[in-house]
Structure 1
Amino acid sequence: MRALVVVLPIVSILIGLYFITLGLWELREGVNKQLYIKYMFTGLFLLVILTPMIWLFGSSLLFRI
C-alpha cells in the first residue's frame, strides 16, 4: 500500500508529460487543433490536479493505517 502511494504520482507525472508532449507535437504539425487541446488539458490535469491529490489523500491514508 505504501509503495502504491509513491508509485501512482510518479506514473501520473510521466503520463501527463507524455500527453503534453503529444499535444506539442500535434501543435507543431498543425493538423488537428482539437486534438492538441485534448492532449494538453489531459496532461495538465494529470500534472497539476491529480498528482497533488494523490499525494495529499495517499499520505492521509498512510497515517490512518
Structure 2
Amino acid sequence: MGGLIIVLPIITVLIGLYLITLGLWELREGVNRNQYIKYMFTGLFLLVLVTPMIWLFGSSLLI
C-alpha cells in the first residue's frame, strides 16, 4: 500500500504532462479548438490539483 502512494502521484504527473502535450499538438494542428481546451484543462487539473491532493491525503494513509 505504501508503494502505491509513492507511484500514484508520479503516474498522475506523467498523464497530466501527456495530456498537455496532446493539447499543444492539437493547437498546432488547429483543427479542433475544443479538443485543445479539453486536453489542456484536464492535464492542468491533474498536475495542479490532483497530484498535491494525493501527496497530502496519501501521506495520512501511511500512519
Shift of 1:38: 0.1
Pairing 1:43-58 to 2, within 5 Å after superposition: 43-58=43-58
Partner residue, 2:24: 24
> Structure 1 length normalisation: TM-score?
0.95
Cα deviation code 1:19-60 (max 9, x no counterpart): 000000000000000000000000000000000000000001
CA distance in 2, matches of 1:56, 1:4: 14
* Unaligned segments of structure 2, at least 5 residues: none
Cross-structure match for 1:5: 5
How much identity, in percent, do the aligned residues show? 78
Q: What 5-or-longer segments of structure 1 have no aligned partner? A: none
CA RMSD of aligned residues (A): 0.4
- Please list every run of at least 4 consecutive aligned residues from structure 1 whose deviation after the TM superposition is greater than 3 angstroms: none
TM-score by length of 2: 0.98
Give the structure 1 partner of residue 35 of structure 2.
35
Within 1, Cα distance between the matches of 2:39 and 2:47?
Answer: 12
Taking the aligned partners of 1:44 and 1:12, their CA distance within structure 2 comes to 11
